[in-house]
Chain A
Amino acid sequence: MPRVTDESAVALVRALIADEPPADDGPGGTAGWLQRLCRTAARALPATGAGVSMLSPQGARGVVAASSPASEDLEELQFTLGEGPCIDAFASRQPVLESDLGNGAGARWPAYAPAARERGIQAVFAFPLQIGAARLGVLDVYRDRPGRMSATGVAQALAFAEVAVTALLDGQQNAGEGRSAGGLDDALDYRSELYQAQGMVAVQLGVDLDDAMARLRAYSYSHDRRLADVARDVVGRRVVLSRDDT
């Protein structure tokens, strides 16, 4: 995808983010900054919510920041179900703009479309975070009403995406090789239990890591619990997954 953002649009987005106060209990560093970016995007575009997730070509994926817990759950939902605009945008390296989840989107995302609508979302706009051939993740924008995003909105969302890429890479530049961008470490602390649970379940059930993560996601989805909470219980041995658990 060619770089279409112009410098003034990017500068405006940065100014907007600077006005957004940090959350009281939010993460620090890069993840905290990205949370402010998500909140600003929700305010400015406008949208019901926004989230940033990192994905790797090897299949690793995780939410880094979101404008609200509800948006974080929506981000997680795509990974739980293994489908959605975010995943398509990352794979195709192009934005995916779904203006009406109730109109034919079920063909494209048979599990995700109804699940998102159950959570009150009617439109999703996903923008890949990438530079050159390298892919980092996706910025997702959610709305509770159907309707196309205007050309101005899309242009501004692309500016948000570019600012997000810069934030991730600047953090990395400051951290140096072998260490992850300051504050992303904090975001990982939030999620360290998830990966610990993954390792435990892999050994418990004798399955590979991908399978273990899929089972954790499936369990949280079918029990209608947040993935992070299930992970905490697994690590605390309050929940033990069995082979039959779906």
Chain B
Amino acid sequence: MSAMHAERIAEMFVQAADTLVDDFDLIEFLQMVTTLSAEFTDAAAAGLLLGDHEGRLQFMAASDEETRLLELFQVQIHEGPCQDCFREGTPVINADLAEAAERWPLFAPKAVEAGFRSVHAFPLRLRGERIGALNLFGHEPGRMQPSDARIVQALADVATIGLLQERAIKRGELLTEQLQGALNSRVVIEQAKGAIAQRRDIDVDAAFALIRDYARSNGLRLGVVAHAVLDDPASMPDLTAG
């Protein structure tokens, strides 16, 4: 491996691993992974599919948005090397498309028609969890070396870690929002109890009963009434007038 080659690989991994920045953009990241893998292997094109919540592969990003290429990714939602490697969890390397009509009757002829002769697919997987597949196309058959295949798989693994990390963070962010929201609702209700207690010269428990009854008889949510008591008391004179 030449020094320049090694440097390119190192650069590629640094780029792929840099997923922890604040402005992480999922699609941009996936596009970068496909572009890098195509560049590194001199593949004609690369694409990435991810499994959705029902385990169906969906096209996410490609090194090239040319229509016929996109169709090839769409077909693979049902059949093809990505489907195989996603299910089995093992890569498909150097599959000769001219000989693959039996294996992939829908996909293979389309791919040949589009000018490709070889196809590879690498699973995106981490400790048994499989989240998608990385797909590479070549104009000529059987050119990928085992050493190159290992490097592309490693790139796919780095991408997987980044994706799973991003999902865990998104879930954590959502839970945080819910938590802050729920706590805030509680706080608002307590504040409203105090405000009504002060306005009507009653204790806070009696104040809560009034707020709750007002909400019920007007078909309003408790939180809505509480907010209005604080922000716009004039809008609920029956409740707030002292």
Contact = CB atoms under 8 A, between A and B. Distances in A.
Interface in A88-121: none
A54 B199 contact: no
B187 interface: yes
Contact of A199 (B175, B177, B180, B193): B193
Interface residues of A, number: 41
Contact of B197 (A131, A178, A196): A196
Q: Which of B170, B178, B197 has the most CB of A within 10 A?
A: B178
Nearest to B189: A195
B191 A196 contact: yes
Nearest to A54: B183
Interface in A14-71: 54, 56, 58, 60
- Chain B at the A interface: SS class: helix
B172 A134 contact: yes
A169 B191 contact: no
A192 B170 contact: no
10 closest A-B pairs by beta carbon, nearest first, are A199-B194, A131-B172, A195-B190, A132-B169, A196-B194, A134-B176, A199-B191, A180-B182, A199-B195, A134-B173
Given A56-B184, A132-B169, A198 B191 contact: yes
A131 to B, nearest CB: 4
Interface of A: 2-3, 54, 56, 58, 60, 131-136, 165, 168-169, 171-173, 175, 177-181, 184-185, 188, 192, 194-204, 209, 235
B184 A179 contact: no
B192 interface: yes
11 contacts: A136-B176, A165-B172, A168-B176, A177-B182, A181-B182, A188-B190, A198-B190, A198-B194, A199-B190, A199-B192, A209-B230
B173 to A, nearest CB: 4
B186 A185 contact: yes
Contacts of A192: 186, 190
Report whether over half of chain A's contact residues are helix, strand or loop; otherwise say mixed: helix
Interface in B167-224: 169-170, 172-173, 175-180, 182-187, 190-199, 204
Contacts of B193: 196, 199
A184 B183 contact: yes
Nearest to B166: A132
A214 B202 CA distance: 24
A203 B199 contact: yes
Nearest to A169: B175
Given A60-B184, A179-B182, A196-B204, A169 B195 contact: no
B182 A169 contact: no
B3 interface: no
A2 B20 contact: yes
B183 A188 contact: yes
A16 B167 CA distance: 29
A181 B204 CA distance: 24
B55 to A, nearest CB: 23
A175 B190 CA distance: 20
